[in-house]
């Protein structure tokens, strides 16, 4: 069974993903709302993938989340990383695109993407 860690504050989005993924018996989703514990959770559960939610503003913005992704890459290089980021803000979008190009993350998706699309992206990691 594959474990995917959802590092996010939007519990309603996490619950929606968990409902959509119930049809995938080989995948277990784990919600981690404390970003400080995310890397440890990913390592201890041997997660195959993680979704890191970047906030529009505040502490857990795109820059913070990319630093977290770098730490995860060091400690769990086999874990696929997808950044969930706001569709507004040119700087954040450019950072996400640059991070994907450089291999710092495997993929990114915007908040306004449909749940089916998000599930497909998760399963492809």
- Show the domain range for 64: 2-124
Tens digits of residue pLDDT in 62-121? 999 999 999 999 999 999 999 999 888 777 889 999 999 999 999 999 988 888 898 888
Q: What is the CATH number of the domain that holds 29?
A: 3.40.50.2300
CA-wise closest residue to 111 among 62, 49, 41: 62
Q: Looking at the DSSP assignment, which residues form a beta bridge with residue 3?
A: 28
Predicted pLDDT at 17: 87
End-to-end CA distance of the chain, in Å?
Answer: 14
Given pLDDT bands bounded at 50, 70 and 90, which one contains residue 33?
very high
Predicted pLDDT at 76: 96
- How many whole angstroms separate alpha carbon 89 and alpha carbon 119? 24
Predicted pLDDT at 123: 85
- How many whole angstroms separate alpha carbon 97 and alpha carbon 20? 27
pTM of the model as a whole: 0.91
The count of domains in the chain is 1
Average pLDDT, the chain: 91
Q: For CA atoms 78, 68, 81, 15, give the dihedral sign.
A: positive
- How many whole angstroms separate alpha carbon 7 and alpha carbon 98? 21
């Amino acid at each position: 069974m594959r474990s995917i860690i959802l590092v996010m504050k939007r519990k309603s989005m996490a619950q929606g993903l968990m409902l959509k993924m119930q049809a995938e018996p080989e995948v277990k989703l784990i919600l981690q709302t404390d970003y400080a514990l995310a890397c440890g959770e990913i390592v201890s559960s041997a997660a195959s993938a993680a979704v890191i939610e970047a906030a529009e503003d505040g502490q857990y913005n795109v820059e913070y989340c990319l630093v977290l992704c770098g730490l995860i890459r060091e400690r769990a290089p086999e874990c696929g990383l997808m950044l969930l980021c706001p569709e507004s803000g040119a700087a954040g979008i450019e950072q996400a695109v640059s991070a994907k190009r450089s291999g710092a993350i495997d993929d990114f998706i915007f908040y306004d993407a449909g749940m089916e699309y998000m599930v497909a992206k998760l399963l492809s990691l």
